[in-house]
Structure 1
Amino acid sequence: MQIGTQLIAPEGFDGLCKDTVYHFLRSDSLRERVMLVEFRRKTNKKRQQNLQKDETSVTSGAPMHYRPLIHFLSRSRFEYGIEAELISVRDEQEELPPWFRGLTVEDLGRYLLPKPNQKRSHQDRIDQTLAHLWPLVNNVNQILQAEFPDRLINSHARSCKPVQHETRLRTAFYAYLCYGMQRLALHYAVHQIGRWDRLLHKRKFGRPSRINGEHYGFGSNDPKMIEEILDGYRRFAGAGQHMSRIYHLTLTKIFGCVVQKNPNGMRVFVHPSGHPFPSLGQFIYRVAQVFPLEQRQIHKYGYTRVRNRLTHSQGRFAESVGNLMERTEQDAYCCEQVAVGYLSGSHLPALWVARIRCMVSGMIVGIGFSVGAELASAYRMAWFCAAIDKVLFAKLFGMELKLDDWPSIGLSPHLINDRGPGSTAKADPTSTSFMPTIKEAAPSYAGQSKASIETKHPKRVKLEGKPSYKETRATIPQLAVQEIVRVVIDNNSTDISDRLNNKMLTDVALPTPVESWKYFNRRGRNHALAVTFEEAVRMYLDPIELVVRDDGIYFNELRYSTDHPAFSVQLQKAHSQGRFRISGYMFSTCVRYLWVEIGTTLLQVAARVNIRDGDEQLYISNIEAEQLAQVRKDGQLRLKSSRPAVNAEFEEMYRLVTGQTFDQSILKFGRNRRHTVESRAEAQQLKRYLHGNGGKK
């Protein structure tokens, strides 16, 4: 038995009642007593008699509607009750306080997920409550040993700034103790908010009318009105019937409303006898409660359409390390090739490449990219690359690698970088759990302080004379693939024989970083930290917002999808409720694949072509996607402005050829005369001229 153990007295015992749950607090040897706490629901007759004023607070089961009662038993009587089984441990131990009844820790944890446009998170509310509780928690022994613990808690509540409600603070304190000091015990009971029955309430609910005033209109809480609304929908809903038409037919045919002009000259519905009737919004709301969206769409569009749409050397750096990833260096360089842009006469921004090198093996263990400048995101991408399997990393760029081509996986606990973007907080992972244990910054303008990575940058020959540059037709992702291939070449061809000790010389087939890595890894000499792929995505990739439509997820006019069942749920939600935004992650250098957060699940989605074509064109960078989106908009604008001229030109051609005006038909009522005797005889005569062989088939 421990603090918080839930006890019951099946037939009562001393001051304990049956059918009541008690939480064990403490067995006090000084005062020879046992303390139990009961969380009792408040009874407020006045509130129960007037439910309209505060119905939500009555039925929500919030902590404010409970109060803790302390029960004292002598130790001898309590222990006798336990031994005689008059007091027993409850079979089912609730993991949350009673105001969360029907909710699990996993269910409640979903409310802690961040929400768009949320002004104040539940985490902040818990932190605020915990700040007031913390002095009590630190002195819990002094409080529980007091003769009357509630008095100390009440005194502390009055001394808080701002002053805290005494009963609520006591409730929070005892709940926090009894439920394992877990933060969720202080969470507000949000799962019952708004779930009270509004029927039979005469007052009108909903936001007030901005045009006609707060009390304009009638409430729709009368069961008779609701039944008439549903009856009208059943009678008048059908193929092609809009909800507005169903509404006005229901008001006129069932409710008996008539139309008249108000003083402003606007036509409105009124009832000749002053009986209540619903507004359009109330009508749609009540219909939607009974008829799901899919069923309403089938009524309107038909099943088929719904289905189809829906200086000298100071020594070697390697001398101070002996295991893989024990220490790494990172740095970035600018790719000298200039890519041609999609807009006329433009060049795409420069590609910057960040690389991470293991000081023991000499292997490049991670590579990242940024466009336009050396950015912290390039270093985060390099750490993402270092953390995951390189075969999977290469597939994100459309490459096929073998595990032996680039075998490194994992993060280093010791990092050395310069004082550029790689040393800023933006280059750190989003989770402090995966921060490097040591993050060392080299002195400014001192490349030798991280010579291992500096010496592996590609070397360029500077041409004398007039300025020149290298232009390429390759896209930015293709340039990134080129740099990835360069890393694989370096890892399999760089001579590191000067790093090999005598014993290694006979055990390593080739003095390359890849063979050196295999040598150390086989012997377990590896300090790399393992990270799952999902953790790496969340920690290192750029967070973005995507738009979910009913046919896919969109980012910069690119459409993404996947076969995961959770993705179909989001598409159906967008189809039913309209497009919405969702959080995700991206490689800014290659947006062929994105990752989206759906609840607590991370899904990888792939870009799709609009018509059947080669997928290689989908490997583009974020900035190229933005330029392509601009090209598409410009084309639409040019087409819109030229369409009238196209119509005019070819309609004039028709007039010159025929001597008639284009589309000069007139509308006449009745049936055409193609099936009269005269029309058939005329058609038979025309066949002789329209067909060969005298009109015979």
Structure 2
Amino acid sequence: MHVGAKLESVDRFQGRSATRYAHFLMSSERYKSVALVTFEKRGEPFAELLRFARGDFEALVASGAIFETLDQPTLPPGLEDLEGRDVYLFERWREEKGRLRSNLKVMEQRKDIVDTLCEDDIEKLLFGSSDPIASIAKAVKERTQRKDTTRVRYWLLAYLTFGRRELALYPATIKNGHWDRSSVPSGARLGRPPLEDPLPQLRISADLAEKMVRSYSSRVIDGHTSSAAYTSFVRKHFGVTVKSRPIGDILCQPEGLPFPSKRQYDYVIHKLLKQSEIDELRFGRHRYNNTLSPREGAFSEGVGNVFQAVQLDVAQAPELPIGLLGEIQQLPLQVARMIDVASGICLGIGFSLGAESASAYRMAHFCCAISKVKFARLFGLDIDENDWPCVGTPAGAVYDRGPGATIEHADATSTIEMTPSYSPKGKPNVEGSHPKKCARHGPPQLRISNLNPIEMVKQEILRQIRDNKSSDAFSRMTPEMIRREVLPVPNEIFAWLDGRCRSSAGRISFEEAVRKWLDPVSFSVSRNGLSYRSGEYRDMGILLRNFREKLPRHSTFDIPGFVLPFCVRYAWIEISGHLVEVERVLPLTDDPTLLFESLQDLERDAVTARKLARRRRKAAAAAQVEYQSERESQVSPSPHDSKSVPRRAIKKGNKKKERALRDIVHS
């Protein structure tokens, strides 16, 4: 048991106290007595001193009649809320708010008074007389010249009971105004009356407060303001109307009955509803969650391996591409990114034109699963393996509820998670990786690039490599990474984690990635070659050549294949269970960049080729008519200047002519 220990007695300390609780103050060897202190609230704080014979008190403790409580406060009643708080910081806040009275100065003044009483023998003051209360009062009057002996006695006993701590003398004003107003049975309105227009005052009951909250919630959630919710409430429940006055209109109740004021209405709302609930009602759940709700931690706190969790999202490129012929494209480039939660590196990237599509997400998965050197080569880019080192399939992916949620995973062990709609905080890693643009005031403007879609795709790939090498990833740095001096960029963090086998990546073959993630199409193959739409393809290996040699003459077959939607220069076809890579070729020697087209460009070229074929047929008929007309006018008017005869008749006629000519020569 320590000084200040809170004790409990069922029989109220043998009937000597009005309460069951008291605090241990002192055990005197000189006077063979024990002193306890009880604290009560009687308008003002009140302290009573209880004395027991030492033997009797110890017997009561041994028998269990007096025992320590589970909760042991360190401050007097009324100051419990200050336990563990920095009072000096609290007082600085009060001074900044313009409070005139300093509680610290009051505490120092009380300590000076108590120190004056403690200069003499405290043990004699408490145990040296039959009436210690009278002894304390006499000492207060003689040494401090104060008449409020009851108040000073409370300060003295609180100071001694709680370890002579100066904080025990702090004014107990922290709970002022926090009492339960419903405990007062009177129906009169509490607080000062209004300064102007003293209308009948209404006290807010619990039922009325609940009605106010329901009214506020139903009105504000529909977009109404707090003022509109208040006026709707008083009109519905109190029949309030408007009273015209020369100095300004006011609200009134026709029968003179009281009704709540706007300040009462706002007070009840802010008392019964949390500020977070009010903000969610005013701005909506999505805006509150996205911009107003406090941060609850980082997603990276729940992962320790690369490829353990990824987040995917699509963002529009800041510029509009131009067409292959230089015209302005109306369809923007959409870029899908797959961001690793642990390292922040972009594991894969995909593209689509116009709108967000599942094809862009599949391309991002394809990019993630294969070597980035191979992926860049498909677009005509030459990069190093260390520029983009990550290869594998993720263990789990987070999508929004868009087209990305419709794709299937190559790995059956992968887990798919979808975020709530309109909630970018559900995948902040990938949302934060999107390029930022500065909002400009004035009329809306569009940025037009001088690059076509394929060139913009190349630019985005190089830009992503730059971001992997330069983005600030210091928030993911562990103390060990800092000690090892790992550069706080996604590439280096990924390499550090992957080099220590902290990876959850799965591996699939290139052929499996092609079959799973690329768009399936049908190629036309014959003995003359391989084609898709308007593009001709060629295989440098022997497998396709042998397959074509087995085909019947003048026959065309469809075989399955796969293409990368934004690069049709390379494609893959299925032959006897084998995946064969084929490359597009030009009919003439020309610029190799013409081979880099998107699937949409190739399909558009096929439509244009069919249109040109129709034009050629019409032009051929027109040329034939023009030829016949010019021949008749400039060569021969007869359209039939030749006839068909048997070849044998021609030979016989020629022989007759030769014999006749020979006879003439010899005659």
- TM-score, scaled to structure 1: 0.48
Q: In terms of Rg, which structure is larger?
A: 2
**What's the TM-score, normalizing by structure 2?**
0.50
